[in-house]
Amino acid sequence: MKVVLFSHSLLSDWNHGNAHFLRGVVAELLDRGHEVVGYEPRKGWSRVNLVADAGLKPLVDVRERFGWMDDVVRDYDLETLDLDHALDGAQLVVVHEWNAPELVARIGERRAAARGADFRLLFHDTHHRAVSAPEEMARYDLRHYDGVLAVGSLIRDVYLERGWCERAWTLHEAADARVFRPLAPNGRRRDDLVWIGNWGDGERSEELHEFLLAPAHRAKLRGAVNGVRYPARARVAIRMAGLRHRGWLANHRAPEVFAQHRVTVHVPRRPYVQALPGIPTIRPFEALACGIPLVSAPWEDCDGLFRAGQDYLVARDGAEMTRLLRDVLREPGLAMALRANGLERIAERHTCAHRVDELLAIHRSLGVGGRVFA
């Protein structure tokens, strides 16, 4: 089967966490013998900022790490994109929500012109804007789409209740098990705590102080913060907490960084906590897949993704986060149990292989031109 994916970027994960999951889905589809073509804007925001921040070398590195990139990724300019050529032979087309509304509409019109005879078309939403900025999402013309893949049940329900689509399915993010797996430390002394994540446009600045920086300071932990878009005041606060800010980290190198630390934390963005229960960021999936103990700030896992208290610990406030981090660092048995349980949960439910199974089942249920694809 030929699958065509329109995303913001597969090449760059600079402040673009969706790339992590999409790469894993592409790799899984390729391993199963499907043909995949991924289109991304030549001057996409993430790629432009990556080059400005770190030069061209990261783009070379990611192509080397993911050997399929050169065969899969196609750059385009919206003004000159030939959709007939891009969609030729496609049986499944997935359009991610970080695309221009104009492009989303054009692809839908192309789908309507085909009268359903050649491909099925799905819109993929992995963000919180359906709830936090519905006026933005209402701009997307999904009339000719066969349905929506939503990152959580609540987002799925929003699409259906607002009448933005007729069909929608929940497709949670997951860990790419080809990349995210336990690694042995490189021999140096491991530090205590690591946080991998971006500042978040002010969506979790208070939470990062309460659940990361203050606990690290109180417990006198050695460690690091990796991520981008940290303003000067945040970098100062990181230093005052006794941690080091190490800037952008290529996501495929996160397992190496996890291996050099003994515990990590999850601090979800405020929109996910307040308005989107059941939807974490992709970071818990990846951390648990690497076997590092995880302590999380509060979030409501109403979709039943993990087992709180078994796969990870939950801190209700900064004081409890301090205590739980100390417990994990001082009690080897607790750390080992969290590691084993988290790895088990990922292997059983939350790899990109699981999500591709779900995606292909959705595609089969739709059929194309009277045929059901394998």
Strands 223-226 and 191-196: parallel
Can you give the pTM of this predicted structure? 0.94
Strands laid side by side in the 147-150 sheet: 73-76, 35-41, 2-6, 92-96, 120-125, 147-150, 168-170
Report, in angstroms and rounded to the nearest whole number, the Rg of the chain calculated over CA atoms. Answer: 21
Helix (H) or strand (E) holding 122: strand 120-125
Q: Percent of the chain, pLDDT > 70?
A: 95
Cβ within 8 Å of residue 365, ≥6 positions away: none
Residue 118 has pLDDT above 60, yes or no: yes
Banded pLDDT at 270 (limits 50, 70, 90): confident
Two tokens at 69? 């990139």
pLDDT for residue 205: 87
Q: CA-CA distance, 261 to 213, in Å (whole number)?
A: 16
Residue 74 has pLDDT above 60, yes or no: yes
Backbone φ and ψ for 131, nearest 5 degrees, come out as: -100, -45
Two tokens at 314? 């939950």
Q: Which residue has the higher pLDDT, 310 or 129?
A: 310
Q: CA-CA distance, 374 to 366, in Å (whole number)?
A: 12
Please give the C-alpha separations between residue 3 and each of 36, 80, 179, 360, in angstroms, as whole numbers: 5, 21, 22, 11
Residue 369 has pLDDT above 70, yes or no: no
pLDDT for residue 83: 96
Which whole number is the average pLDDT over 254-281?
85
pLDDT for residue 372: 40
pLDDT for residue 368: 62
Q: What is the pLDDT of residues 75-98, one digit of tens each?
A: 999 999 999 999 999 999 999 999
Banded pLDDT at 117 (limits 50, 70, 90): low
